[in-house]
Amino acid sequence: MSWPNRITLARILLIVPFIFAMLRVNDPQYHGLARYAALGLFVAMSLSDVLDGYLARRNHDITSLGKFLDPLADKLLIICACLLLTWTKTAVPGIKLPDIVVVFILGKDIYITLGFIVIYMVTGNMHIVPAMIGKLSTTLQLAMVLAILIFPDVVDAWPGFIYFVKLLWWSVIVVSMLAVIIYTRNGTRYLNEYEQKQAN
């Protein structure tokens, strides 16, 4: 168990207290402290994502487990956060993430996961090659969640911040669609190359 993988596992475990804090975002007895706790945990998890990637590259410690756990941790965090931000009970005061954004995020992840399964069933290999569009999608999603969590603190000083947040969530939708197209192309190309090798 390398340090990058330990950090990734810690990030996954921190999702539990993050959910706990989000469930109390609108509880008056916490006076908004639950949102700050959720924000702090979210920032810590986002920074740990950068840290484990940096350590893995610097120490040449990129493992198969890490390739699996790192995107899993990102997906679990983003999906949990987005689902909670669309639910009226746990939505951040003054702003609620539209359901359509979560539909595109979940739809993209389910589609790509099914694609990996199909490739594995056909080739017997778990072909996981991160694409730049995937990293961009994850970065935009993290930025969107962060922007929503800080919304009540920023919007009074900058009323136009609402338009920035909306720009982020529409960007997430567009990039999710692009990711589906690019991963489909990459997967199809890999399957064609595999079939050509088998034929030869």
Q: What would you report as the CA-atom Rg of the chain, rounded to the nearest whole angstrom?
A: 19
Record the tokens describing residue 170, joined without a space: 């529409």
Of the chain, the percentage scoring pLDDT greater than 70 comes to 98
Q: 30-74: per-residue pLDDT in tens?
A: 888 999 999 999 999 999 988 888 887 787 777 777 777 888 899
Q: 26-39: per-residue pLDDT in tens?
A: 999 988 899 999 99
Cα distance between residue 80 and residue 65, in whole Å: 22
Query: By the 8 A CB rule, do 25 and 34 touch?
Result: yes
Q: Which CATH architecture has domain 3-199?
A: Up-down Bundle (1.20)
Q: What is the pLDDT at residue 3?
A: 84
Q: 139-191: per-residue pLDDT in tens?
A: 999 999 999 999 999 999 999 999 999 999 999 999 999 999 999 999 999 99
- Is the pLDDT confidence value at 1 over 70? no
Instruction: Report pTM.
Output: 0.91
Cα distance between residue 75 and residue 130, in whole Å: 14
Closest-CA residue to 37 (of 17, 64, 57): 17
Q: Where are the domains of the chain?
A: 3-199
Closest-CA residue to 191 (of 130, 120, 98, 134): 120
